[in-house]
Structure 1
Amino acid sequence: MITVIGFDGSPLSEQARAALACATLVVGGQRHLDAVPVPESAARLVLGALDGLYEALPSHENVCVIASGDPGFFGIVRRLREKDLDIRVLSAPSSVATAFAAIGLSWDDAIVVSAHGRELRPVANVCRAFPKVAVLTGPGAGARELGALLPDRTFVVAQRLGHPDQRIATLSSHAAAHSEFADPHVLLCLDESRLTSERGWIAGFGGVPGTWALGESEFAHRDSMITKSEVRALALAKLGPRPGRLVWDIGAGSGSVGIECARFGAAVVAVERDAESCDRIRANAAAHGVAVEVVTASASASVFDRLPRPDAVFVGGGGVDVIAACAETPAAVVVVALAAIERVPEAISLLTKSGRTADGVLLQSSRLSALPGDAHRFAAANPVFLLWGERP
């Protein structure tokens, strides 16, 4: 029998003490082994890679594994279950729950991500997209490193939770980038301008609220300068927005494409040269309750060099140079909307030259329109060429 004991620095339960008293092998990090009452007769194994634990198991009938907080929450329980081992779990509160409790903030609407042993960029993208994110950090992937990747956010860094030297620090993401923190620590990344007191019914990210490919009337726009919903529907399908991905919306106009991507949980950066349109994008994003970082600038390679790396790019405005620069990004897919047929061959050529497989469609739609006398017709909308280039 393997008993997995969650430890948060509090006195152990009677069950946990009884399991330890009978153990012939106790496994855990060095700080855990130093903190719990390990019997003198029991062997100790400092947990690193799990191979050492698996090799030791045949020699012991009663094994205790000490893990932080709730071992079933981004913890060791999953790894042990994958080996079909007979386990019993005695849990403690998760470090995330403890961190939110320390600042008196509810967390049923928080997104929880793990940076431990994982690529940091998708974690940063989630922090860009959502107003309340808890990050389980790891070596080289903590508050300092995330602070260097993020725009202005409030960081709450909960260090050494459950230990006598526990410390909660609240600071800006920019300040965190130049600070040192004790390990282990839990990071709460907050966009305080978007925190809400609304009571929900589902924990974490609830998916897209309602429908997508929203009608043009759902966005403020100038002189119908907006990607039509039929075009937006296919563009969204090709861009594949979801939590952890970052989308560029280039020549954003009203920001409708980027805002819809944000509703799917993606982080979004919109580039638009017109200052009035930029204000409109911010207002539209706020109306839909999502975050879109707006850059007021003419789209160019020099501007793109300063942006976070994209996973997908939508080009709704800009010339040949803009398409070429976007095609050279590491994004998995670049989607281009064009009205003029003369620009299509060159756009296809640029996507192909960048090592992408190019494809596209001509979208022609007719919308139901009322006529006098309770009659109707289908009125044709302007056709749009939608091209996309994907990397193998």
Structure 2
Amino acid sequence: MITVVGTGTGAPLDAGTLAGARLVVGGQRHLEAAPVPADAERVVLGPLAPALDVVERHLDKAHRVVVLASGDPGFFGIVRVLAERFGSRQLDVRPGVSSVATAFARVGVPWDDAIVVSAHGRELRTAVNVCRARPKVAVLTGPGSGPAELGAALEGEARVLLVACALGTAEERVERVTPAEAATRDWGTAVSVVLCLDETRLLGPVRTVAGPPAGPAGWALDEAEFAHRDSMITKFEVRALALARLGPRLGDLVWDVGAGSGSVAVECARLGAAVTAVEKTPDGVERIHANAAAHGVDVRAVHGSAPTVLSDLDEPDAVFIGGGGAELPAIVTACARRARRTVVVAMAALDRVPAAQAALTGAGFACDGVLLQSSRLAPLPGDVSRLAATNPVFLLWGVRTPLSDKGVAQ
């Protein structure tokens, strides 16, 4: 049997928990703080594979094994690895209070509606995009993905970082900093967790289901749901297919280039993605902000012309291009070079389709498309209806193929 004990932020570890253990595994600080029996073998956790091999040898001899971990070891912790190797029935898990729960408790904020994302040994960009998209996020950090790196990526965002260090110890501290301030600091190795908060939205409605909010009840919203100019808005039929091809989700970054009213940007944000909307007109930027606010989502609006302004933006997972004019081939090429997954282009002028398709295939994307023509019911006198045709739109999409990944066929 393996006893897995969560330490660090809860009650102190007593000698009885380790009594009779022939092997005690844990981080250096856990082992130094624990009353390890004198005759027990100690293994300092570093690379997991060698430590698990030692555990297996002791289990084969029916020895008692104790594994020390931080907080709740079943929450982004070692329980998963142990269960995969030895089976859940071999585990006696005794959780402590997780660093996430402790950090929120220290600042007096409920966290049933928080999103927890791990950047420990993982790519930081997912955590960054979740922080951009959601108002209450806890980030589990690691080397190279700490408060400084997170702050640098979030500089300019309307967020505050609460950096919790050495939770449960005499050196415990929780510091409130802006992303820019976090980026300039050396935080050392004592960081327990970072809370990324929009302080204007800390107390949401009472929840029934914990964690990320459920997805929207509907999408491809009617054009009347958005402020727009002279019907210059991506129609909901086009938006429906565009969203299906973009696949926006929590942790993604989506660009909406030539955003206009920002209808596609807002819909992607409602589905959980972080979104940057690029729009060249000042009044368009204002409408994007207004539409995002009306739908309760975060959309970063960038005032500028593509493709020039795109070089300053973080790399997207997916891109929607809804405008471009004569610059369209250059815009599609610039987006295809940066997009990690897919690029979707909407065009009313069909003579621009070949150039856009060539730009996608030239970047190594598998390309497909469809001409969308729809007719909507419209009332006629006498309580009858007719079909009113909408303007046809060609929707082209490119999907990154394995050969085009990260510069192979760029």
TM-score interval w.r.t. the shorter chain?
over 0.9
**Separation of aligned partners in 2, 1:52 and 1:272:** 54
Q: Which one of 169, 174, 178 corresponds to residue 172 of structure 1?
A: 178
Query: Could you say which residue in structure 2 is the equivalent of 1:146?
Result: 150
Instruction: Tell me, yes or no, if the aligned pair for 1:3 and 1:63 is still in contact at 8 Å.
Output: yes
- State the SS of the aligned residue for 1:107: coil
**Separation of aligned partners in 2, 1:336 and 1:73:** 41
Q: Which one of 185, 188, 195 corresponds to residue 195 of structure 2?
A: 188
How far off its partner does 1:184 sit?
Answer: 3.5
- State the SS of the aligned residue for 2:24: strand
- State the SS of the aligned residue for 1:148: helix
Instruction: Tell me, yes or no, if the aligned pair for 2:9 and 2:98 is still in contact at 8 Å.
Output: no
Q: Which one of 31, 38, 41 corresponds to residue 40 of structure 1?
A: 38
State whether structure 2 residue 254 is matched by structure 1 residue 250: no
Write the mapping of 1:261-280 to structure 2, written as runs, cut at 5 A. Answer: 261-280=268-287
Distance 1:9 1:189, change over 3 A: closer
Query: Could you say which residue in structure 2 is the equivalent of 1:136?
Result: 140
How far off its partner does 1:199 sit?
Answer: 1.6
Query: Could you say which residue in structure 2 is the equivalent of 1:372?
Result: 381
- State the SS of the aligned residue for 2:382: coil
Instruction: Tell me, yes or no, if the aligned pair for 2:110 and 2:203 is still in contact at 8 Å.
Output: no
Write the mapping of 1:287-298 to structure 2, written as runs, cut at 5 A. Answer: 287-298=294-305
Return the letter of the residue paired with 2:288: I
How far off its partner does 1:17 sit?
Answer: 3.8
Distance 1:45 1:122, change over 3 A: same
CA RMSD, aligned part only? 1.4
How far off its partner does 1:202 sit?
Answer: 1.5
Return the letter of the residue paired with 1:254: S
State whether structure 2 residue 155 is matched by structure 1 residue 125: no
**Separation of aligned partners in 2, 1:331 and 1:272:** 22
Return the letter of the residue paired with 2:44: V
Query: Could you say which residue in structure 2 is the equivalent of 1:308?
Result: 314
Return the letter of the residue paired with 1:67: A
Please list the CA deviations of residues 185-209 of structure 1 after superposition, one character each: whole Å capped at 9, or x if unmatched. Answer: 2000112244443222221212322
Query: Could you say which residue in structure 2 is the equivalent of 1:335?
Result: 344
**Separation of aligned partners in 2, 1:120 and 1:108:** 23
Q: Which one of 46, 62, 67 corresponds to residue 64 of structure 2?
A: 62
How far off its partner does 1:10 sit?
Answer: 4.1
Q: For structure 1, which runs of at least 5 residues remain unmatched after alignment?
A: none
Q: Which one of 219, 222, 236 corresponds to residue 226 of structure 2?
A: 219
**Separation of aligned partners in 2, 1:101 and 1:6:** 18
How far off its partner does 1:379 sit?
Answer: 1.1
**Separation of aligned partners in 2, 1:56 and 1:210:** 51
Q: For structure 2, which runs of at least 5 residues remain unmatched after alignment?
A: 402-410
Query: Could you say which residue in structure 2 is the equivalent of 1:237?
Result: 244
State the TM-score, normalized to the length of structure 2. Answer: 0.92
Please list the CA deviations of residues 290-347 of structure 1 after superposition, one character each: whole Å capped at 9, or x if unmatched. Answer: 11000011122x3111001111110001132322322222332110000011111111
How far off its partner does 1:274 sit?
Answer: 1.1
- State the SS of the aligned residue for 1:189: strand
Q: Which one of 24, 28, 31 corresponds to residue 26 of structure 2?
A: 28
How far off its partner does 1:264 sit?
Answer: 1.0
Which moves more between the two structures, 135-144 or 58-67? 58-67
How far off its partner does 1:84 sit?
Answer: 3.0
Return the letter of the residue paired with 1:268: V
- State the SS of the aligned residue for 1:149: helix
Return the letter of the residue paired with 1:322: I
Identical-residue share of aligned pairs (%): 58
Please list the CA deviations of residues 142-184 of structure 1 after superposition, one character each: whole Å capped at 9, or x if unmatched. Answer: 1101111113320000001111101111000011000121324
**Separation of aligned partners in 1, 2:225 and 2:324:** 24
- State the SS of the aligned residue for 2:96: coil
**Separation of aligned partners in 2, 1:6 and 1:334:** 45
How far off its partner does 1:11 sit?
Answer: 3.4
State whether structure 2 residue 69 is matched by structure 1 residue 53: no
Instruction: Tell me, yes or no, if the aligned pair for 2:23 and 2:58 is still in contact at 8 Å.
Output: no
Query: Could you say which residue in structure 2 is the equivalent of 1:381?
Result: 390
Return the letter of the residue paired with 2:318: A
How far off its partner does 1:386 sit?
Answer: 0.3
State the TM-score, normalized to the length of structure 1. Answer: 0.96
Query: Could you say which residue in structure 1 is the equivalent of 2:206?
Result: 199
How far off its partner does 1:41 sit?
Answer: 1.7
How many residues align? The count is 389
**Separation of aligned partners in 2, 1:40 and 1:311:** 53
